Structure 1
Amino acid sequence: MIALARSSAVKDFMQNRRGMRKLAERFVAGSDAAAAVDTALQLLDKKNIRTSFYYLGEYVDRLELVQENVDQKLAIAGRLTDEALDVHVSVDPTQIGLQTDPDQVGPRARTIGRAITRASAGKPGLHCLMLDMEDASVVDFTLALHDDLRRLELPAAITLQAYLRRTERDVERLIAAGAKVRLVKGAFVGSREVAFTSEAEIKANYRKLVGLMLSAQARASGFYPIIATHDDRIQAEAIALARKNGWPQGAYEFEMLLGVRSDVAEALARQGERVRLYVPFGCDWWPYAIRRIGENPANGMLLARSLLSRR
């Protein structure tokens, strides 16, 4: 699936095929910031679900596309001035220059962080720049970027991946620092030296990391856990652990993907849990959509119907 996601020829074919519209609409809010904000307003007003925006486009190797990505992040941050939203703005380091001019990634991230700070000043919510985590080769860079943003008192959070063996020590360090961490399973592949390779191992490590993130020690440090999973058993275990260790609702949150198990997200919100959806927008949707299909083969039927459709 990673190869399909990164193939320019496959991407161009799929994104220009009219019948693929249904697949895009399932996982993507729209082509621009206005459509994404409209989706976020509906989620908050009707379902009490918050949003993490993500402008589609990753592993960028052209400076003009890097600038487009930065401009879109700034555009979505600017909308916080006008709208009563609780928003994270998700950023991949490769979106903002890691493959073109790495020395400028920090300044660009700081510009986005400052824009979020200005636009959200005086507004309720947990607005922040959420650093997405890509493959294992950029973990150290991303952690250093996160630490730099926090040193400057900019609203930064970071994503960690349960499939990597190193994540336990990264979580422990960030708990001690009182950081905000989103825990995901991880969609990349690594060698056994650096990664857990079986689904059972990854899930067991995810549970172990949730235990650390919802510990009494983490609560006392001011740490903010974001449990990003669609597994309702793990969600239930996390809620029970939070209650046991004195975490009130709203002191942690669950995050899920737009278009994936919406009924579960809505049920959590009705129970009073803080829930956030990862809401992508933009025209470059194929790499993102094919990874969602890879994570859940049941979505392959949607791909097949889209390919067969002529409309």
Structure 2
Amino acid sequence: MRRAWQTGMIALARSPKIKRWAQEKGLAAGLVGRYVAGPDAEAGIARAKSLLGQGIRSSLFYLGEYVDRPELVAENVAQERKVADLLGRAGIEVHVSVDPTQIGHSLDPALARRNGLAVAEAIAAVPGDAPRLMMIDMEDRTVVDPAIALHDALTAAGLPVGITLQAYLRRTEVDLRERIRQGAAVRLVKGAFAAGREHAFVSQDEIKANHRRLIGLMLSREAREAGFRPVIATHDDRLQDHAVAQAEAAGWSRGEYEFEMLYGVRSALAERRVREGHRVRVYLPFGRDWWPYAIRRIGENPRNAWLLARSLIGG
């Protein structure tokens, strides 16, 4: 059931006709208002500054993925570079999330690499001492190797970059161990895409067990000594508690690792973690091309179907 649902949602996310219909009709406006910062980079920056006032950092993401037209890829890259510039001018920490398909992977992997280099260089050029990072998002299983290759190439060039890894994939432990050895920044997510049993853990119990193992690796003494930078991206408070226990046992201080959550999801938990002294970040999307992102959120669990239905009915 879950795999069929996720496969269907990915198909919806990638459908240009359905996306155009939904966005032109202004459907699911309630869903957009809940999970999206606004229509442009300025709105995203304004929301990021507001969140920072609450002690919550942001990772801004320009909504535009699964694109297969050169002019859309160029627009995505321009917006990401604009975000870097605006964040620098605002004097706040720079994190920009980037999907490989957003910057040209579907057209030409070499184009995606050139565009990734351009965005990372723009982030590195931001003046000031505030930490800055280009975080490469992870998409479906077919994009894992290109995403990791892009990360490693930018790392070798000395640019500020991190990579997202997915707990549901069987290969992730190997990928994570190599990134720990590099002293990389890794954002660990559960993963919202469908894959067969040969590639992925498919039951929720299996995925959660692997998630806990991977968190243990990320917050090990060896990872800390290697200069590894862990970002635990989950809304599961039990997994967060597990991360805190692992970190304390291995000598990590609060603030040396991060929790990341989606904007609009379990906000009270994010605020509680801040009060406890933890470093918290939200994934903060902005832009008008919201359909693929919204459907990916819905696709994470069949139980989310009611959110989409309620939003569509509400207009």
TM-score for both structures, normalised by structure 1: 0.95
Q: 1:81 Cα deviation (Å)?
A: 2.4
1:50-129 correspondence runs (5 A):
50-119=57-126, 121-125=127-131, 127-129=132-134
Give secondary structure in 1 for the equivalent of 2:214. helix
Distance 1:227 1:78 in 2: 27
What does residue 5 of structure 2 align with?
none
Give secondary structure in 2 for the equivalent of 1:106. helix
- The one-letter code of the counterpart of 1:132 is D
| Correspondent of 2:207 among 186, 202, 207 | 202
Q: 1:18 Cα deviation (Å)?
A: 3.7
Structure 1 residue 270 corresponds to structure 2 residue 275: yes
Distance 2:113 2:246 in 1: 36
Q: 1:129 Cα deviation (Å)?
A: 0.5
Change (3 A) 1:18 1:106: closer
- The one-letter code of the counterpart of 2:272 is A
- CA offsets per residue over residues 25-45 of structure 1, 9 Å max, x none? 111111100000011000001
What does residue 24 of structure 2 align with?
16
Q: 1:117 Cα deviation (Å)?
A: 1.1
Contact persistence 1:229–1:255 (CA under 8 A): yes
- CA offsets per residue over residues 236-270 of structure 1, 9 Å max, x none? 11011111110011111000001111111111111
What does residue 35 of structure 2 align with?
27
Distance 2:214 2:86 in 1: 34
Q: 1:296 Cα deviation (Å)?
A: 4.5
Give secondary structure in 1 for the equivalent of 2:187. strand
| Correspondent of 1:42 among 45, 50, 57 | 50
Aligned residues: 307
Distance 1:199 1:85 in 2: 37
Distance 2:27 2:301 in 1: 21
1:187-198 correspondence runs (5 A):
187-198=192-203
Structure 1 residue 2 corresponds to structure 2 residue 18: no
What does residue 306 of structure 1 align with?
311
Distance 1:297 1:112 in 2: 35
Q: 1:19 Cα deviation (Å)?
A: 5.1
| Correspondent of 1:167 among 172, 194, 204 | 172
What does residue 245 of structure 1 align with?
250
Distance 2:160 2:133 in 1: 5
Q: 1:154 Cα deviation (Å)?
A: 0.2
What does residue 236 of structure 1 align with?
241
What does residue 287 of structure 1 align with?
292
Change (3 A) 1:281 1:100: same
Comparing 33-42 and 85-94, the one that deviates more? 85-94
Give secondary structure in 1 for the equivalent of 2:188. strand
Q: 1:299 Cα deviation (Å)?
A: 4.4
Contact persistence 2:163–2:186 (CA under 8 A): yes
Distance 1:289 1:231 in 2: 20
Distance 2:36 2:138 in 1: 20
Q: 1:92 Cα deviation (Å)?
A: 0.9
Distance 1:105 1:306 in 2: 34
Contact persistence 2:68–2:106 (CA under 8 A): yes
What does residue 3 of structure 2 align with?
none
TM-score for both structures, normalised by structure 2: 0.94
Distance 2:197 2:178 in 1: 23
What does residue 259 of structure 1 align with?
264
- The one-letter code of the counterpart of 1:51 is S
| Correspondent of 1:130 among 126, 135, 142 | 135
What does residue 140 of structure 1 align with?
145
Distance 1:18 1:61 in 2: 23
Change (3 A) 1:309 1:80: closer
Contact persistence 1:50–1:87 (CA under 8 A): no
Q: Structure 2: where are the runs of 5+ without partners?
A: 1-8
Contact persistence 1:20–1:307 (CA under 8 A): yes
Contact persistence 1:60–1:94 (CA under 8 A): yes
